[in-house]
């Protein structure tokens, strides 16, 4: 019954990548806590790099600096 929300920047994440995240997160909850995969929900949010900040700086700027 777990709910997992994964937030990442929207930098060319493929449908295959998302498939792997959904499978991996569902497996993790089963491995660690024995949760039934049938009712595990995973939602991936892709966030524009202008809208994500770390260290007080937009990711857009970090990318321009090569980070």
In the complex, the residues that contact a second copy under the rule CB under 8 A are 1-9, 13, 15, 17-29, 31-33, 35, 37-47, 50-60
H/E stretch holding 6: strand 3-9
Nearest-approach distance from CB 65 to a second copy, in angstroms? 14
* Least Cβ distance, residue 51 to a second copy (angstroms): 4
Question: CA-CA distance, 29 to 11, in Å (whole number)?
Answer: 26
Q: Is 2 a catalytic residue?
A: yes
Exposed (0-12), middle (13-18) or buried (19+): which is 20, by Cβ within 10 Å?
exposed
Catalytic site residue from 2, 21, 30, 60: 2
């Amino acid at each position: 019954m777990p709910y997992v929300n994964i937030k990442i920047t929207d930098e060319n994440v493929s449908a295959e990548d998302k498939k792997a995240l959904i499978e991996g997160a569902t497996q993790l909850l089963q491995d660690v806590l024995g949760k039934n995969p049938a009712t595990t929900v995973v939602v991936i949010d892709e966030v524009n790099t202008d809208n994500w900040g770390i260290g007080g700086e937009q990711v857009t700027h970090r990318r321009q600096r090569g980070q």
